[in-house]
Amino acid sequence: MAKQLHVELVAVEEKVWSGEADMVMARTTEGELGVLPGHAPLLGQLAEPGRVRIKLPGGEQVAYEVAGGFLSVNERGVTVLAESATRVSVTEQSH
């Protein structure tokens, strides 16, 4: 079984999304970032406006428009702390 990331997407007032993922993609102030299982620990500031895409096992993706906040990667997974997060539809699909 392939390793997966545990992902938490949290806005100021609520947990928006939580689960297992194959990859997380986000735009930080340093550029586009893709996080796979085993990624080195880091803390990045999310770019504004920004989008966080979560690739789920099986290829499906969920995406959120985010405003403000940070992305943290550690040995337990990925946490996205945003001021606001709104789900958007994803047009590109992996096959």
Can you give the residue ranges of every domain in the chain? 5-88
Band of the pLDDT at 95, cuts 50, 70, 90?
very low
pLDDT at site 47: 94
CATH fold, domain 5-88, is ATP Synthase; domain 1 (2.60.15)
How many residues does this entry show for the chain?
95
Q: Please give the Cα distance from 56 to 78 (Å, whole number).
A: 14
Band of the pLDDT at 90, cuts 50, 70, 90?
confident
- Answer yes or no: are the C-beta atoms of 27 and 65 closer than 8 Å: no
Dig out the tokens for 61 from the structure.
């993706």
Tens of pLDDT, residue by residue over 43-76, are 999 999 899 999 999 999 999 999 999 999 999 9
Query: Does the pLDDT at position 81 exceed 70?
Result: yes
* C-alpha distance across the termini of the chain, in Å: 19
